C-alpha cells in the first residue's frame, strides 16, 4: 500500500488479487463499452484553469450532501456483489467511508445484508433500492432499511432491463462463484482472496436470503433475472415516496426531460448517471449530461430544490473538482471503490478516499480555490 499513489495503482493490485470474472464484473461495461470509455475520456478532456499568486493557505473540501456533513463531496456508490471483492466487503467499505467522513451506499444486490452492515457500523448508511416485480418484497426492503435507520434511500431508475455485459457471460460469472475447471486455476493463484471471501459472513445475496428460493441457487438467479421490471414508471417513484418518508435520492438520470420529472417528485438529490457505462451503450457520457441538467433544474446550488449529483468515471480529485465546477453538489464512485476494496479491504478503501481528498485539495489550491462550496465554472478552461 505504501507505494500506491493513485487509483490506477489500486486497480492494478485489484487485477492481480481477485479472480478474472470478479475483476471484469467491476472493470468492464456493456456491449461495445463506448459509454464506459466516454465517461472517462470526456472527464479527461476538460481542462482546469491554472491560477497563481492567490493566497490559498486556508482551504476546505468540506461540504454537505442532502444536509449530511461530508469531508469532501464524494460518496460510495452502490455496487452489487461488493462482498465478493473482499470478504464482508460492504462492512469494510462502510467503515472506511465513515472513518473518512463520507457516506456509504449499500446495494440491494449486496452480499452482506442491511442488518449485517447495520450491526457492524455505528453511523447510518444509505440503502439503494431496485424496485422489483415483487412489490411486496421491495416494500419489505424499505421496511428493513427503516429498521436499520438508513439515513437515505437511493432509488435506482436506470435498470428496468439489464444491459448486456459480454465479459460476465464469457467468464460465466455466478453468485456465489462456481468452481469450474476454467476458473479453478485462476482461483488457485488468488489464495488471499479465496480465504477472505470464504471467511466472509455470506457468499450470496444477503438481502435476498430471506426468500425461500435462496435455498436453491439456480432458482434464486432465475428469480433475480426475472425480477427486473420493464413496466417501472414514475408512478412507482411516487409509490416509494409514499412509503419512505426519509431522504430520497433518484439515481440514473441522463436526460434533461427526465431530470425535470425527477425534480418534480421532490427528490432530495438526483444522480446524473449512466450506471458507469454498464447499461445503455452509446448513451452520452455522464459529465456531458451534467451541465445541461444543472442548467435546466438548478441543482440545489442555485435555488433548485433537488441537489444534482454526478457519477461515471470518478477516479481522481481532479475529476471531483471538474464535476463540482459543472454544478454537481456531490459525486459518487463505483469502480474506484471496488478496485480499492479488492486491493486492500478497509485500508484500501481508506487509501482511495484519502488519495482523492488530497488530489482535490491540491487541485483546488492550484486553481486558486479555497472553499469547495464556492467552486464554479471559473476553475475550468472552457
Ligand atoms: C460492479 C458494479 C456494480 C454495480 N452495482 C450497482 C447496484 O447494485 N445498484 C446501483 O444502483 N448501481 C450499481 N452500479 C453503478 C454504480 O452505482 C455507479 O453508478 C457507477 O459505478 C458509477 O461509475 P464509476 O464506476 O465510473 O464510478 C454498479 C457499478 C459497478 C461498477
Q: Indicate the SS3 state at residue 64.
A: strand
* Per-residue confidence (pLDDT) for residue 182, from 0 to 100: 77
Ligand 1 atom 19: residue of nearest CA: 275
Q: Which residue's entry shows cell 420493464? A: 230
Ligand 1 pocket list (CB less than 6 A): 25-26, 39, 77-80, 107, 109, 128, 156, 251, 273, 275-276, 278, 311-314, 333-336, 338
Please say if the pLDDT value at position 260 is more than 90: yes
Distance in angstroms between the alpha carbons of the first and the last residue of the chain:
36
Q: How confident is the model at residue 172 (pLDDT cuts 50, 70, 90)?
A: confident
Ligand 1 atom 15: residue of nearest CA: 275
* Per-residue confidence (pLDDT) for residue 40, from 0 to 100: 98
* Per-residue confidence (pLDDT) for residue 261, from 0 to 100: 96
> Which of 19, 78, 106, 112 to mutate to test ligand 1, by most ligand atoms within 8 A of the CB atom?
78
Out of 110-114, 189-193, 303-307, least confident range: 303-307
Beta carbons of 151 and 268 less than 8 angstroms apart: no
* Per-residue confidence (pLDDT) for residue 302, from 0 to 100: 45
Percent of the chain with pLDDT over 70: 95
> Which of 75, 129, 276, 342 to mutate to test ligand 1, by most ligand atoms within 8 A of the CB atom?
276
* Per-residue confidence (pLDDT) for residue 174, from 0 to 100: 80
Close Cβ partners of 68 (under 8 Å, ≥ 6 residues apart): 103, 151, 152
Q: Which residue's entry shows cell 433500492? A: 129
Ligand 1 centroid distance, CA of 332 (Å): 9
User: By C-alpha distance, which of 352, 371, 351, 346 is closest to 361?
Assistant: 371
Q: What is the CA radius of gyration of the chain?
A: 20
Close Cβ partners of 249 (under 8 Å, ≥ 6 residues apart): 66, 126, 152, 153, 154, 155, 267, 268, 269, 270, 271, 309
The pLDDT tens digits for 102-114 are 999 999 999 999 9
| Interval 288-314 mean pLDDT | 87
Ligand 1 centroid distance, CA of 274 (Å): 9
Q: Return the beta strands (E) in the chain as ranges.
A: 63-65, 68-70, 74-76, 105-106, 126-129, 152-156, 247-253, 269-272, 307-311, 330-333
Instruction: Give exposure, 9-48, as e/b (b: 16+ Cβ within 10 Å).
Output: bbbebbeebbbbbbbbbbbbbbbebbbbebbbebbeebeb
* Per-residue confidence (pLDDT) for residue 171, from 0 to 100: 87
Backbone φ, ψ for residue 332 (5° rounding): -130, 150
Atom of ligand 1 nearest to the CA of 275: 19
The superfamily (CATH) of domain 7-375 is Aldolase class I (3.20.20.70)
Please say if the pLDDT value at position 301 is more than 70: no
The catalytic residue positions are 275
Atom of ligand 1 nearest to the CA of 158: 11
Ligand 1 atom 10: residue of nearest CA: 78
Ligand 1 atom 28: residue of nearest CA: 79
Atom of ligand 1 nearest to the CA of 108: 8
Work out the angle at residue 297's Cα, subtended by the Cα atoms of residues 161 and 130, and round it to the nearest 5 degrees.
25
Q: How confident is the model at residue 305 (pLDDT cuts 50, 70, 90)?
A: confident
Please say if the pLDDT value at position 217 is more than 80: no
Ligand 1 centroid distance, CA of 230 (Å): 19
Ligand 1 centroid distance, CA of 276 (Å): 6
Ligand 1 centroid distance, CA of 309 (Å): 14
Out of 214-228, 283-297, 367-381, least confident range: 214-228
For residues 361 and 300, give the distance between their C-alpha atoms in angstroms, rounded to a whole number.
23
The pLDDT tens digits for 23-66 are 999 999 999 999 999 999 999 999 999 999 999 999 999 999 99
| pTM flag (> 0.95) | yes
pLDDT, the chain, mean:
94
Backbone φ, ψ for residue 265 (5° rounding): -70, -10
For residues 282 and 280, give the distance between their C-alpha atoms in angstroms, rounded to a whole number.
6
Summarize the chain as % helix, strand, coil (round to 5).
Answer: 50, 10, 40
Calculate the dihedral angle through the C-alpha atoms of 249, 76, 124, 81, rounding to the nearest 10 degrees.
100
Please say if the pLDDT value at position 213 is more than 70: no
Which string of DSSP letters, residue by residue, matches 275-338? Answer: TTTTSSTTPPPHHHHHHHHHHHH-TTTSS-SSEEEEESS--SHHHHHHHHHTT-SEEEESHHHH
Q: Which residue's entry shows cell 500500500? A: 1
Q: Please count the other Cβ atoms lying within 10 Å of the Cβ belonging to residue 212.
A: 9
Ligand 1 centroid distance, CA of 108 (Å): 12
Please say if the pLDDT value at position 178 is more than 80: no
Amino acid at each position: 500500500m505504501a507505494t500506491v499513489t493513485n487509483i490506477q495503482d489500486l486497480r492494478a493490485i485489484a487485477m492481480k488479487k481477485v479472480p478474472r470474472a470478479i475483476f471484469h464484473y467491476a472493470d468492464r461495461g456493456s456491449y461495445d463499452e463506448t459509454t464506459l470509455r466516454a465517461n472517462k475520456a470526456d472527464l479527461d478532456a476538460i481542462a482546469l484553469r491554472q491560477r497563481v499568486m492567490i493566497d490559498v493557505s486556508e482551504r476546505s473540501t468540506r461540504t454537505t450532501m442532502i444536509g449530511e456533513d461530508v469531508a469532501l463531496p464524494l460518496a460510495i456508490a452502490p455496487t452489487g456483489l461488493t462482498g465478493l471483492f473482499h470478504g464482508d466487503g460492504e462492512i469494510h467499505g462502510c467503515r472506511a467511508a465513515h472513518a473518512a467522513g463520507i457516506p456509504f451506499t449499500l446495494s440491494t444486490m449486496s452480499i452482506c445484508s442491511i442488518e449485517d452492515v447495520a450491526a457492524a457500523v455505528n453511523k447510518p448508511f444509505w440503502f439503494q433500492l431496485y424496485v422489483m416485480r415483487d412489490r411486496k418484497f421491495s416494500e419489505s426492503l424499505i421496511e428493513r432499511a427503516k429498521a436499520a435507520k438508513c439515513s437515505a434511500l437511493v432509488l435506482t431508475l436506470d435498470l428496468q432491463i439489464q444491459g448486456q455485459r459480454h465479459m460476465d457471460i464469457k467468464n460465466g460469472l455466478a453468485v456465489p462463484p462456481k468452481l469450474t475447471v476454467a476458473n479453478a486455476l485462476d482461483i488457485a493463484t488468488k489464495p488471499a482472496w479465496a480465504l477472505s471471501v470464504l471467511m466472509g459472513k455470506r457468499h450470496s445475496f444477503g438481502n435476498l436470503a430471506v426468500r425461500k428460493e435462496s435455498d436453491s441457487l439456480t432458482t434464486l438467479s432465475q428469480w433475480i433475472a426475472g425480477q427486473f421490471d420493464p413496466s417501472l414508471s414514475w408512478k412507482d417513484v411516487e409509490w416509494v415516496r409514499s412509503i419512505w418518508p426519509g431522504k430520497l435520492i433518484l439515481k440514473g438520470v441522463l436526460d434533461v426531460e427526465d431530470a425535470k420529472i425527477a425534480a418534480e417528485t421532490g427528490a432530495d438529490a438526483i444522480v446524473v448517471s449512466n450506471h458507469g457505462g454498464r447499461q445503455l451503450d452509446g448513451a452520452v457520457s455522464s459529465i456531458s449530461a451534467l451541465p445541461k441538467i444543472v442548467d435546466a433544474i438548478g441543482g440545489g446550488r442555485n435555488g433548485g430544490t433537488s441537489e444534482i449529483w454526478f457519477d461515471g468515471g470518478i477516479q481522481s480529485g481532479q475529476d471531483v473538482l471538474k464535476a463540482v465546477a459543472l454544478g454537481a453538489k456531490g459525486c459518487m464512485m463505483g469502480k474506484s471503490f471496488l478496485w480499492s476494496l479488492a486491493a486492500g479491504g478497509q485500508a484500501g478503501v481508506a487509501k482511495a478516499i484519502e488519495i482523492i481528498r488530497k488530489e482535490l485539495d491540491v487541485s483546488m489550491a492550484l486553481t486558486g480555490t479555497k472553499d469547495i462550496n464556492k467552486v464554479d465554472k471559473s476553475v475550468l478552461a472552457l
